[in-house]
Amino acid sequence: MKLGLFGTNMGPSTAPGELIAVAQAAEAAGFESLWMGEHVVLPDPQVPPSPMAPQDRALDPLVALTWAAAHTSTIRLGTGIIILPQRNPVVLAKEIASLDQLSGGRFTFGIGVGYLEPEFRAIGADFENRGAVTDEFVDAMQRLWYDDRPEFHGRFVSYAGVDAHPRPLQQPIPLVVGGYSPPAFRRAVARAHGWYGFALKPDDVAGCLAGLRAAASEVERPAALGPLEITVTPRVRIDAAAVSAFAELGVDRLVPYPRPGRDDVNALIAAAVDAVATL
């Protein structure tokens, strides 16, 4: 069971020194990865399904991961997740290639389609077609990363006669898809190295795995992707029983979330390491 840590770009960890301390503590404890989510803006006043208050602190994940990369050496750096249809894919491809270069090839690209319409509206992004936009943006970005002469012509993005260097160190960059809908499951099976579920109990994970199995009967998985890696941020206390329950389901990585202002990060790191050691 691999261990990651979520949310180090949120709450108290947004202080420069605190982010460094948390990233280094996780690396020293043997954690395999750091994962950072995003909301560019939040509805004010807060309304469902927004998970955060508009005044909650959240650094841009790529900027925060670059800061963490500069003060660590081995821990992987993942987005869990970037809301892809809210981004310009050509600019984002450059940012990610830069981060992968500067980190020595440690980046994992976690994506989702998003769900807060007010956030999309403020950014000027296409909320109605966000699933189709996401699929097209992935294609457009991968052409820039991997093709000798990148060119792409789609409904939502089009370019030709351009190039971008340096390429990412990793060829390919690991792609992880988050989400609980049938389209998200199909997207993960058909084109991603992994699937990410956030704030789930073991029973929730079992249902999502059933959804992934159903998706596997509907879409083809390229052999080059290998087995689908399952990553989960649990919505339960991390102890030996919880770790065992997730492991029995086939979860490959647990990414606990120290809730800002409520959980001691160092205590959570120690508890997770102890719990995994019982497997």
Strands 158-159 and 152-153, sheet pairing: antiparallel
Angle in degrees, 0-180, between the axes of helices 130-146 and 182-191, rounded to the nearest 10 = 10
For the whole model, what pTM was predicted? 0.97
Number of residues in the chain: 279
Indicate the average pLDDT of the chain: 97
Q: Which of 113, 82, 85, 80 is nearest to 95 (CA)?
A: 82
Round to whole Å and give the CA distance between 61 and 143. 23
pLDDT value of position 262: 85
Domains within the chain, CATH numbers bracketed: 2-277 (3.20.20.30)
In the chain, % helix, strand, coil (3-state, to 5) comes to 45, 15, 40
pLDDT value of position 156: 98
Give per-residue pLDDT as tens, 2-17: 999 999 999 989 999 9
Q: Which residues pair with 195 in a beta bridge?
A: 177, 230
Round to whole Å and give the CA distance between 68 and 251. 26
Give per-residue pLDDT as tens, 160-192: 999 999 999 999 999 999 999 999 999 999 999
pLDDT value of position 187: 98
Number of helices (H) and strands (E), helices first, in the chain?
A: 9, 11
What secondary structure letter does DSSP report for 220? P
pLDDT value of position 32: 98
Positions of the chain with pLDDT lower than 70, given as ranges:
none
Structure tokens at 103: 């980190």
